Structure 1
Amino acid sequence: MRIVGLDIHRVFAEAVMLDEGKVIRLGRVGMTREHLDTFARTVLTHDDHVVVEATGNATAVADVLAPHVGRVVIAKPRQVRLIAEARIKTDVIDATVLARLYASGFLPEVWVPDAHTEALRRQVTRRMQIVRQRARLKTMIQSILHAHLMPQCPHADLIGPKGRVWLLAQPLPPDEVDAVARHLREHERLSEDLRVVEREIARDALANPDAKRLMTIPGIDMVVAVGLLAAVGPVTRFEAPDRLVSYLGLNPTVHQSGEGPPRHGRISKQGRTHARTMLVEAAWQAVRGPGPLRAFYERIARRRGVHIAAVAVARKLAVIIWHLLKKGEDYAWVRPALHARKLRDLELRSGQPARRGQRGPAYAYNLTRTRQEERRRGEQAELAYRRQTEGWTRRGPKAPTGAAKEERR
């Protein structure tokens, strides 16, 4: 079996072949589909294995080469650097390192998603980019007001109908008035793009039972559910919930040497940053309502502070998500009326017509009695969790007793 390492750049890729322990330089390959296809048909065989480092176009490279070779492997770039850091660095050396690591069995691989999951990831990324651009425009408008000593907007949303009336009435210089108008027009255009992207995401969520299942958890809406599913892929990839927690970078770092006790530090922050951020935001929303998650949050917050407690709730959510997807069950403390309201909002976002004058499953959420009853059940679950954890204390190292104590002496 021959192993081919590709060090990918924007315009070309440096190719190296490892054949029976001998390194053969294959030269540079153009980073277009035509050049890659020609390289695969003329140089590679169906028994070859190709190794590339994870980059923005690594998946496309794998798609072109896969029909012509035995296997295409995408390596984790950060772990490859930790394993094979060298003082002398060239493209040939990098490609050779990839090939040798794969041949020795020490190459950390990246999971390659299927076409549907990859398309969903792109949609989630597009939505995130549009949201950031809109937030940047708001910041630019606020900076203009601040530069000219304008008072703070009395309305909650500066870009909303009332906020715009107030904004356009401020005595700004003519050039600043034109700049604000341009920012508002750009904000409207981005808002329309956001509705189009969210429509596609909502349609995918309606057809995905796992997305609806995740929305039974408080704090998780359509955006978070679809974003997590796109980042995680099939949950069967993870043998235990701790594997999913580690994949999302919510596991604490550990330092231990010799007989000393392990020291736990901050979370590792490995994996997909956007999925981890969404889970933390969902945690802040989940603890606002009654339930076991709020009791867990308050128990950690008293000892470690609110920010660490929010991250701990995010980790707890990741464990719950693993169990729900693995077992195919809904969240035990789901609020049915609230969940029906989420599903109705999902239908409206997907472009389904509004059924005015008709009482659907989401109508119960409009009844105060129903909402109070659901909150009461959540408060009972929260109280049960508090009673269960009331006597819990932080475990420390056990003190040696008896024979173990004599042995240490």
Structure 2
Amino acid sequence: MAQYNTIHRRQDAATTRVTPTTLIVAIDMAKYNPKALICDYQGTILEAPFSFGPHQQGVDTVIQRAETWRVHVGATQVLVGIEPTGHYHEPVVRQLTAQGWAVRLLSPTMTAEERQADHRRAKTDPIDLMAIARCVLNARGSEQPLLSGLPAALRAVSRSRRIMVRQQTRIKNLIRSVVDQTFLEYQGFQEPGQEATPTPLLDLWSRAGRIWIRELPLPQDYRQLERADLSLLNRREKLRLPESTLDRLWTAAGRAFPVPDEVAPVWRAHLERLYELYSTVTTLVARYEQDQEALLVQTEALAWLTTPGIGVITAADAYGEWSTLTRATSPKKLVKYGGLDPNIHGSGQRPDRYGAMSYQGSRWFRAALCQAGAMVVDPAHQNAYFLALADRFRERGLTRRQIDVVAAHKLVRIWWAMLAYHQVFAPPTWDGPPLAVDWRPKIHTVAHRRLAEATWSRFMTTRTH
């Protein structure tokens, strides 16, 4: 059995303890009408729930009332429990932290469990405030400081890029759906008598494919042309499509179902708008990736680029979420924060049984870690250490997704050691040739490469051997 120095497993050495000289302030954050409650270390309510404004004057009201009660009861410290609501709690937390108070963030799951412990079906702001205060008394929550500076900017940019990539995928699926309904063989042309899977005539996302569909989106658009006109369009737009492809396009247009004339203009406009939207989102994604590179080269995560298979985007996604745990003293806490730790079940003399991963951490961090795990076990990236690890677990019957999670587990521990000891990628259990690769070719902008050189010099100066 694991040994603990306190029954409060969520606490670490940096967590503020509740003592007889502690004053507790519970805050239920909201966008427009947050509320607060003040009680002592025994849970006796000193100030009934009251509303305050989500601005400087409102926070000053909370500070004034709490300081008045602190002097009255002789408390020496103020401990705040706050249930976050989106990002609206962040200015309040920063202001209270600047006041010198300890601020503990509580997840909605914690307060829900406290309400259930009282067997209450009701949910009101006063009930939530009392649940928040009890969470503080029971040593729940985290006192991790809010992100600021480069890590906060990197996390914001990485999350925005990930959202844009999802939108890009949705738009691509819409375009594929429209092409299926208008000119199916753009995505699959089958020769007479051919049994193999049809081959696409055009890459819908390449420059050539996008220009061709812009000019000739529907089958009936070909009927006003001659075969030579296709070659003329090909040369005029410098598309470099082979003549054999043009022959197949001409054949496909001749046998395709025509779109009814009364709706043809609508389909043409629909495709045009979707491609405009796709172009806009693709440009945004590229700009976000430039921002990610500009920020990453100024952080210690530059060392992660020495990992074969890991590029700027993957490292930036992971480090933006990784930096949230600024007090992580072991990789085990990072695995827990990512929700990659397994559920453990055991009782009596039976050995513990390890189940599926908990999924109880940050979904952003989990997605970034699983993506990194998938990258390093991809044979195309030639990471010999993780390819050997994948082979071992594949022989044990694990699926590809399970192997990605295992690789993410291992990668967290290696990356944590790389940052802790200022080292390049060199797993201690590897007995083959050095695995670390040069990070410089992975930085594409000259100005960013100069920043990276300065960061790398500072990082390696304090290297521990």
Equivalent residue in structure 2 for 1:213, among 297, 303, 312: 303
Matched, 1:237 2:343: no
Unaligned 5+ segments in structure 1 are: 353-409
Equivalent residue in structure 1 for 2:147, among 114, 130, 133: 114
Residue 235 of structure 1: how far off its partner (Å): 6.9
Q: SS state of the match for residue 52, structure 2? A: strand
Residue 157 of structure 1: how far off its partner (Å): 4.6
In the alignment, what sits opposite 1:10?
31
In the alignment, what sits opposite 1:340?
440
In the alignment, what sits opposite 1:284?
374
Q: Based on CA coordinates, which of the two structures has the bigger radius of gyration?
A: 2
Q: 2: distance between equivalents of 1:183 and 1:256?
A: 54
In the alignment, what sits opposite 2:459?
none
In the alignment, what sits opposite 2:357?
267
Relative to structure 1, the CA distance from residue 275 to residue 191 in structure 2 (aligned partners, 3 Å threshold; closer, same or farther) is: same
Relative to structure 1, the CA distance from residue 83 to residue 320 in structure 2 (aligned partners, 3 Å threshold; closer, same or farther) is: farther
Residue 274 of structure 1: how far off its partner (Å): 2.1
In the alignment, what sits opposite 2:82?
52
Relative to structure 1, the CA distance from residue 113 to residue 15 in structure 2 (aligned partners, 3 Å threshold; closer, same or farther) is: closer
Q: 2: distance between equivalents of 1:186 and 1:349?
A: 30
Are the counterparts in 2 of residues 4 and 18 from structure 1 also a CA contact under 8 Å? yes
Q: SS state of the match for residue 34, structure 2? A: strand
Are the counterparts in 2 of residues 5 and 98 from structure 1 also a CA contact under 8 Å? yes
Matched, 1:180 2:210: no
Residue 284 of structure 1: how far off its partner (Å): 2.3
Q: 2: distance between equivalents of 1:122 and 1:157?
A: 32
Are the counterparts in 2 of residues 251 and 268 from structure 1 also a CA contact under 8 Å? yes
Q: 1: distance between equivalents of 2:79 and 2:332?
A: 31
Equivalent residue in structure 1 for 2:101, among 60, 70, 77: 70
Unaligned 5+ segments in structure 2 are: 1-21, 71-76, 188-199, 219-258, 427-433, 451-465
In the alignment, what sits opposite 1:151?
185
TM-score, normalised to structure 2's length?
0.68
In the alignment, what sits opposite 1:29?
52
In the alignment, what sits opposite 2:408?
314
In the alignment, what sits opposite 2:213?
167
Matched, 1:99 2:133: yes
Q: 1: distance between equivalents of 2:79 and 2:375?
A: 47
Residue 129 of structure 1: how far off its partner (Å): 1.6
Are the counterparts in 2 of residues 235 and 326 from structure 1 also a CA contact under 8 Å? no
Listed one character per residue, the Cα deviations across residues 124-181 of structure 1 (whole Å, up to 9, x for unaligned) are 1111122122222111111212334622532685222022134332316211211221
In the alignment, what sits opposite 1:366?
none
Identify which range, 109-118 or 136-145, moves more after superposition: 109-118
Q: SS state of the match for residue 423, structure 2? A: coil
Instruction: Give the 4+ runs in structure 1 shifted more than 4 A.
Output: 348-352
Q: SS state of the match for residue 184, structure 2? A: coil
Q: 2: distance between equivalents of 1:261 and 1:148?
A: 60
Q: SS state of the match for residue 2, structure 1? A: strand
Question: Aligned partner of 1:341: which letter?
Answer: P
Relative to structure 1, the CA distance from residue 141 to residue 236 in structure 2 (aligned partners, 3 Å threshold; closer, same or farther) is: closer
Are the counterparts in 2 of residues 4 and 48 from structure 1 also a CA contact under 8 Å? yes
Q: SS state of the match for residue 26, structure 1? A: strand
In the alignment, what sits opposite 1:133?
167
Residue 242 of structure 1: how far off its partner (Å): 2.0
Relative to structure 1, the CA distance from residue 257 to residue 157 in structure 2 (aligned partners, 3 Å threshold; closer, same or farther) is: farther
Are the counterparts in 2 of residues 236 and 326 from structure 1 also a CA contact under 8 Å? no
Q: 1: distance between equivalents of 2:279 and 2:447?
A: 18
Q: SS state of the match for residue 294, structure 1? A: helix
Q: 2: distance between equivalents of 1:50 and 1:7?
A: 11
Listed one character per residue, the Cα deviations across residues 61-116 of structure 1 (whole Å, up to 9, x for unaligned) are 212333346222211222333344242321101111111221x2422225233311
Question: Aligned partner of 1:183: which letter?
Answer: L
Q: SS state of the match for residue 220, structure 1? A: coil
Q: 2: distance between equivalents of 1:235 and 1:9?
A: 25
Q: 1: distance between equivalents of 2:441 and 2:346?
A: 48
Q: 1: distance between equivalents of 2:206 and 2:384?
A: 33
Relative to structure 1, the CA distance from residue 155 to residue 299 in structure 2 (aligned partners, 3 Å threshold; closer, same or farther) is: farther
Relative to structure 1, the CA distance from residue 21 to residue 187 in structure 2 (aligned partners, 3 Å threshold; closer, same or farther) is: same
Q: 2: distance between equivalents of 1:203 and 1:220?
A: 17
Relative to structure 1, the CA distance from residue 194 to residue 26 in structure 2 (aligned partners, 3 Å threshold; closer, same or farther) is: same
Listed one character per residue, the Cα deviations across residues 7-37 of structure 1 (whole Å, up to 9, x for unaligned) are 122321122111363223232223x314533
Aligned length: 346
Are the counterparts in 2 of residues 155 and 162 from structure 1 also a CA contact under 8 Å? no
Q: SS state of the match for residue 237, structure 1? A: coil
CA RMSD of aligned residues (A): 2.5
